Structure 1
């Protein structure tokens, strides 16, 4: 895992701007503390910070070139099938100078140009510059696990793994985007291509982006999922197929030249990953468990994690959350390029700080709930899905309308609160139809004919995407820890899309049977009493709302009424005082609490980002 940055000049009279690439890259040092590298010519400057995971030698240094030095690459991520691709490319006559996965991308591009992404299994963000044709190609993995931002002006195109690189540019204006702010309050994180900063965009997940020296750009998807072609396999046969896919994914993600471990929460998802790792022959995998180890507050998942680790003879390192301080939330918000409207980021980021001295790579169970239907909210959707099963043709041929409608309903519910929270100026800048457009763009990768599949992919690609992208990337990279998620292998997602609804949410009346096929598979490796268990969620015993009313109360007040926030002019101070009092008196409804939490996070984030100007 690494950090990448680049400047592509669209006006050759601005060659002095290329010098900024060194400062842009320096801002990414935490992502790659092991090495740095640069490439310059008259048109482009590329920078790379390296976190060495595969092939630790200097041969894998970046920027990296192909055989005839016509292409140059900067790459952030991991390609899990690089060994297979390498063998095929050697058979075709390609020569390699390293054992790295990075070099595979260069040779694939030689053969397939921008279609090279279709052959990659992994998480990635990369840029390839064609020196002779003066064309720049950028691409991002299918789910957006790895970030890639860009900022385009009349004179140049700038890109980076993190927005903070753009702060190093003399002519970059650090200004909040009103569209981005509206979008943030309707989501937990801002969906691509929007960002919180004016002029800055994200490359969309599962998209390639081609730019020539005249500034002409083409962005197009390279991956789509079809949920309408359901399998005829029995539950038993489907389970065996899932087992093979999971074993393949886990085996590939265990490849590393540095210490690797597993985050073991005690839940089903991480427990089955440990079992599968054991099955592949990796019986020495270290596990890390963070929870509450105090006698006063019993942590069921903490105890179960230690039990599962013992079952598979794993060396289990346990860490206690310890005392929860407001400053932990502040420090977590500081790490974020954009606000993540999720109070729990403070302890989710903290995990990586606790394990960084023992592992440079960790596997997690991220994504299983969204792919296989683990959340309780899916039970009501399944009940509704049973009713709408008679209208599959109509649903399939009105995907865009249904997605946009779902977004409009969500936005309308939020707007009842936001129209009072926002200042007059911010209300006037409300972008009509933006939410529907963003959700429809994200869901254009998916074809579905039932509402459960629609809900699962809305969560995977947008609503809950922060749990698989911004949180593990931001938290992990700050501590130079690479996070890998075997459930997010695109072949597993594609297979899950073919499964009937009752293979995922088997009984809408019984949440314990959610993720039905995955739990059936888990029972082949684990005792059933460790599979059909109440879902707690990581850090379930930490009540952030209670903290805000008690030990954090003064800190929250100081933050939301800070002069920096008031002078920004985004919010109605009178309503802020009202919603704060109602929060303290426990009279906010569920949606109001969510909006208020996002407001608090934004204030914490904004106060830091804009007090250091």
Structure 2
């Protein structure tokens, strides 16, 4: 895990000072050393967070034996030991024990297709001096970031888009479409752009090539369903345990973020299972697993009983954390700085506190359950809708009634759950937008009608459900959460690892029939069956889902509400004309505002820090 940046502009002198200035803005991502490389037209820089092979042999840019290849690598290739053995058998020699050198050798052996063999999370940039060619790649789900600006002749890239502030040739300006989508719908990361105009993200599962022929972006991976196994629970368990096993590879201590939800609990109990049965694989865990749980004395967001049940079952050293509304407001400058772009709720601040506590405890790696909802169809409102529609159209009315009753919905929610799958994507968006009317919070100067990415209507409802979750994985949901986690972990020089996003596991889950995922109102059936002997009963049978939430309504009645008013009433906010301040204040005074009011504050705090 590291910070990488650089400038490539053929026919110009190397812009080493620009690369160094960007790297200074990424220092938090790599406190264990820096490195740089330059030749005519190329300047590369790297800040290292040492996780595997802590010696100087892991410093970057990493060169091959003759220096013709220079690699900047951010992330981890978890199957690097297996790939290393294969490459040794093919004649490659290694001088370090890093996964970075494996990436370099894999490129030498297999070229651009090397990424097909990687199991991990990565964003890397490889300069091939002989071919005068830059090859960049981002992992399948975009766990690791890579932002860039291309003006047709000059490429500037960095791990975080805010680092491009240091580029003297381009000032950072707001992308007004991104601002509008965020305030109105809460959408972020649903397209290639960022909140900065002209700054793009390399899409997940894509590579970027720059040479004399120009810049090209190519897809190297597309999510396709694996063949459904005869025993889904056994297949899931084998892959999930192996995913966790691989993600325990580390030369530094690691811990676990344990919310008490099903996904983070699954990670924690699987680590414990490996600690008891495969001590060598779990060596970085130590004698006891360090777990970190955020709690609040609020019935709507307190999952302590579930986290405590898990902690009692495993060999653990639990850490319980909380914070007040005053502490939240006090932390906002640091969190805004860390995130670099607006963020959707105060739960991101809670995650920041968790990662700070982990770093202060001496850890450098954290595992968590991110991606479980998206891969296991865990968002009940979406999954249930498509399941009910499938039952209706196939005439299975007893199952329809049982699932609807088991979901515990209000009459209005039940009606929406039944009707939603039959509507086109735009109609679903219209219904949602009309109900919330968050377009009124957008200042009239930037308010326009836009539509979210549409989802194909598809054929059978099984296909529609699969399509919907592909959108959640790739556009509306997971990309945003992964960005938040990357920024919060790296702000504290931590590496975050997400076992649910092993591509083998995702392909398996994507191919399972709907009843393996949701049945009679209960979600994530295959996970519950696969880990029934490891999860405590109270977690195993949970039907409610809180998510990682904070008592935002309570905070808004106190310090956060007062802070929100100060931000909204500021002349700076009115002059900026992102937010309709009068509408926002009306909602604040009514006491009925939700996340949409926080988004107004978040986008203004971001603008003050990075645009003013």
Q: With structure 2 as the length reference, what TM-score do the two structures score?
A: 0.87
The alignment yields a C-alpha RMSD, in angstroms, of 2.8
Alignment deviations for residues 449-478 of structure 1 (CA, whole Å, 9 cap, x no partner): 522222222222222215641121000000
Alignment of 1:191-590 (within 5 A): 191-213=190-212, 216-227=214-225, 231=228, 233=230, 237-280=231-274, 281=278, 282=282, 284-292=287-295, 301-322=303-324, 324-358=327-361, 359-377=363-381, 378-387=383-392, 405-406=424-425, 409-410=428-429, 413-414=432-433, 417=437, 419-427=439-447, 435-436=452-453, 450-466=463-479, 468-507=481-520, 510=521, 513-537=522-546, 540=549, 542-572=550-580, 576-587=581-592
Using a 3 Å threshold, how does the CA distance of structure 1 residues 389 and 81 change in structure 2: closer, same or farther? farther
CA gap of 1:34–1:412, structure 2 versus 1, over 3 A, is same
Contact 1:145 1:469 (C-alpha < 8 Å) held by counterparts = yes
Give 1:300 shift: 5.8
Q: Does structure 2 conserve the Cα–Cα contact (< 8 Å) formed by 1:2 and 1:76? A: yes
> In 1, Cα distance between the equivalents of 2:509 and 2:263?
15
Stretches of structure 2 lacking an aligned partner (at least 5 in a row): 396-420
Aligned length in residues: 572
Distance change in 2, residues 1:549/1:18 (3 Å)? same
| Secondary structure of 1:356's aligned partner | helix
Moved more, 362-371 or 412-421: 412-421
Q: Deviations over 1:35-90 (max 9, x none)?
A: 00000001201000000000001111100011222211000001100000000001
Deviation, 1:448, is 9.2
Distance 1:10 1:131 in 2: 12
Rounded Cα–Cα distance in structure 2 between residues aligned with 1:581 and 1:424: 16
CA drift at 1:539: 5.2
- Which residue of 115, 118, 126 maps to 1:117? 115
Does the 8 A contact of 1:63 with 1:73 survive in 2?
A: yes
Q: CA deviation at 1:388?
A: 5.7
2:3 is the alignment partner of 1:3: yes
Give the CA deviation at 1:538.
Answer: 5.2
Encode CA deviations 1:297-352: one digit per residue, 9 max, x unaligned.
79863233233223222222333335543233343223222212223211121110
Contact preservation (8 Å) 1:259, 1:360 = yes
Q: CA deviation at 1:189?
A: 2.1
Structure 1 CA distance, aligned partners of 2:300 and 2:217?
51
Residue 555 of structure 1 aligns to a residue in which SS? helix
Partners of 2:69 and 2:126 within 8 A in 1: yes
Q: What is the deviation of 1:242?
A: 0.9
Distance 1:279 1:217, change over 3 A: same
CA distance in 1, matches of 2:162, 2:117: 31
**What is the alpha-carbon distance in structure 1 between the residues aligned to residue 14 and residue 126 of structure 2?**
22
Which residues of 2 match residues 38-77 of structure 1 at below 5 A? Answer: 38-77=36-75
CA contact (8 A) 1:267 1:535 kept: no
State the alpha-carbon separation in 2 of the partners of residues 88 and 26 from structure 1. Answer: 38
Q: Which residue matches 2:167?
A: 169
**Per-residue Cα deviation, 1:255-287 (whole angstroms, up to 9, x for no partner):** 100011111222222222222223322373422
Partner of 1:393: none
User: Cα gap change, 1:407/1:222 in structure 2, threshold over 3 Å: closer, same or farther?
Assistant: farther
Residues 272 and 315 in structure 2, CA contact (< 8 A), matched pair in contact too? no
- The match for 1:600 is 601
Measure, in 2, the Cα distance between the counterparts of 1:310 and 1:86.
39
Structure 1 residues 561, 299: closer, same or farther in 2, change over 3 A? Answer: closer
CA distance in 2 between partners of 1:161 and 1:302 (Å) = 35
Q: Would you say the 8 A contact 2:205–2:219 is kept in 1?
A: yes
Residues 366, 497 of structure 2: 8 Å contact kept = yes
After superposition, what is the alpha-carbon deviation per residue over 1:499-554, rounded to whole angstroms, capped at 9, x for unaligned? 110100112xx3xx2101101122121343331124353554x3213322433222
Q: Which moved more, 1:260-269 or 1:516-525?
A: 260-269
Q: Secondary structure at the match of 1:258?
A: coil
How far has the Cα of 1:152 moved from its partner?
Answer: 1.5
- SS of the residue corresponding to residue 118 of structure 1 reads helix
Pair 1:193–1:522, CA change in 2 (3 A): same
2:255–2:291: 8 Å Cα contact kept in structure 1?
A: yes
Contact 2:4–2:72 (Cα < 8 Å) also in 1: yes
Task: Give 5+ residue unaligned stretches, structure 1.
Answer: 391-401
C-alpha change, 1:154 and 1:464, in structure 2 (3 Å) is closer
Give the Cα separation in 1 of the matches to 2:321 and 2:439. Answer: 43
SS of match in other structure, 1:494: helix
CA contact (8 A) 2:258 2:292 kept: yes
User: Aligned to 1:601, what secondary structure does the other structure show?
Assistant: helix
Contact preservation (8 Å) 1:285, 1:314: yes
